[in-house]
Amino acid sequence: MFKIYTRLIFYKDLFLVFIWREFSIRYKQSIIGILWAALQPLSMMLLFTFIFTYIMPIKITKYSYVLFFYAGLLPWSFFSSSLNYAIPSLTNHYNLVTKIYFPREILPLSGVAVAFIDFLLACGVYILLLIMFKAKISWNILWFMPLFALLLVFTAGVAMVLAALNVYYRDVRLASSFLIQLWFFASPVIYSIERVSLKLKMILFINPLTFIIENMRRCVIEGRGVVLWQFLFMSVLVMLFFSLSYKLFLNTEKKFADVI
């Protein structure tokens, strides 16, 4: 954590410029521009609501389906779009990587940052939905922030590892859409782990997103708090994962220009 700070502080202007660049490239020559960011989780939510109300009417939760799905899709879209930007980020900037030195983590991390901007916009829609569907908000909603911080660190770790591996083995990129799809169903976006047996829960909790997404939903629409020890335990795990991924990134970084 400390290391990444000392490496990036000198290059913070470059980091900002890269975020701005990614952001403006994406919405150049598009009519509705940034609204696309809100459209993705919104349309997915509508689709799932439609499916589970009319096509397969299953009782998933006692809360409004609109809120339930959106609450899960919001963190999920942040995670998946971060990976979509970050994985090809190093190979796409072949020109830069082979010519100029700068801390390479700036490239995948600016992908995560752009996904974060999208996330903020999608949060605005979330607030509107919460008001429209008259969700009962309690102070536990404050848990949303620390849980998101956890998600951010975890996403950054995954993004760096996959982006670095993609430099060596392009298979990563080919596998990524399929991997993200698998991961989607392994995370409690369209279901809740509430009524799952303990044994199954254990298996699902191997995926850190299970804890994060489930609790991000609970603290907002159900007004429930997070069990503190679980949160601390998860934080330690995520930090550990992040520092390992960063180490791997730094170790492989030196050869990027030769291998890419």
Partner 1 sequence: MIVLERVWKKYYRHQVFHRSLREDIVNLFKRKQKQELKKNEFWALKGISFEIKKGECVGLYGPNGAGKSTILKLIAKVTYPTKGIINVNGRVAPLIEIGAGFHLDLTGRENIYINGAILGMRIKEIKRKIPQIVEFSELGEFIDMPVKKYSSGMYLRLGFAVAIHSEADIFLIDEILAVGDEAFQEKCLEKIKKLKKQGKTLLFVTHNRELMKKIADRVIFLKKGEIVKIFS
Which residue ranges make up the site for partner 1 (CB under 8 A)?
Answer: 11, 13-14, 16-18, 20-21, 24-25, 28-29, 95-102, 168-169, 254-255, 257-260
CA distance 163 to 253: 11
Complex with partner 1: residue 24 or 138, whichever CB lies closer:
24
Nearest-approach distance from CB 258 to partner 1, in angstroms = 6
Nearest-approach distance from CB 125 to partner 1, in angstroms = 27
Beta strands in the chain (DSSP E): none
Q: How many CA atoms lie within 13 A of 12 on its CB side?
A: 5
CA distance 177 to 174: 7
Complex with partner 1: residue 1 or 100, whichever CB lies closer:
100
Complex with partner 1: residue 93 or 224, whichever CB lies closer:
93
Could you give the C-alpha distances from 128 to 14, 28, 40, 66, in angstroms and in order?
35, 27, 16, 12
Nearest-approach distance from CB 101 to partner 1, in angstroms = 4
CA distance 217 to 9: 34
Nearest-approach distance from CB 97 to partner 1, in angstroms = 8
Complex with partner 1: residue 155 or 252, whichever CB lies closer:
252
Dihedral sign, Cα of residue 174, residue 180, residue 185, residue 187: positive
DSSP 141: G
Nearest-approach distance from CB 102 to partner 1, in angstroms = 7
**Taking Cα atoms as reference points, which of 99, 87, 110 lies closest to residue 256?**
99
Complex with partner 1: residue 65 or 256, whichever CB lies closer:
256
